Amino acid sequence: MNAPHIDYTTHSAQAFQHLLALSNGLHKGPLGHKLVELVSLRVSQLNGCVFCLDMHCTALRKAGMDQRKLDTLAAWRESPLFDERERAALGWAEALNAIGSAQVPEETFAAVQANFNEREISELAFTVAMIRSWNILNVGLHVPLPMAAAAA
């Protein structure tokens, strides 16, 4: 992509800092860093955000996630590498990411309720809202893939 990008970190510095604070808070919350990163990576796959894909893959590898698990994330329903909690979180994230074109299926909500308490479900919803915001900014404003590897 050769389109010029808009540096939202400069032009909207205060809004950027608020979104960054939300992101940092979610990573330190009850879901844990790895699950927030995993959900963020999956939503970024769905939304085609190359900047976020690079950043979240790097962060998950640094956090010790097996490369094979990362390689099969797009097909998590068929992969035996994801536990029930991860599956519930990924299903919930995909359903929330699709709001606007589809409703959240009752069975998806039931699965997330079976694996997470109300605070954690709320945190998952905020995680999806947060990463969608980053995806919209990065894809919409043409933020390029950094030539150097992302820092986690």
Residue 106 domain boundaries: 34-140
- Total domain count, the chain: 1
Do the domain assignments include residue 9?
no
Do the domain assignments include residue 150?
no
- Enumerate residue ranges in the chain where pLDDT < 70: 1-2, 149-152
Do the domain assignments include residue 103?
yes
pTM score: 0.92
Do the domain assignments include residue 124?
yes
Residue 21's pLDDT is 98
CA separation, residue 145 to residues 7, 59, 99, 142, 149 (Å)? 13, 15, 27, 9, 9
CA distance 8 to 63: 28
Do the domain assignments include residue 63?
yes
Residue 149's pLDDT is 65
Residue 151's pLDDT is 59
**Any idea what the CATH number is for the domain that residue 96 is in?**
1.20.1290.10
Residue 147's pLDDT is 81
Q: Provide the 3-class DSSP secondary structure of residue 113.
A: helix
Do the domain assignments include residue 77?
yes
CA distance 24 to 74: 25
Do the domain assignments include residue 120?
yes
Residue 150's pLDDT is 61
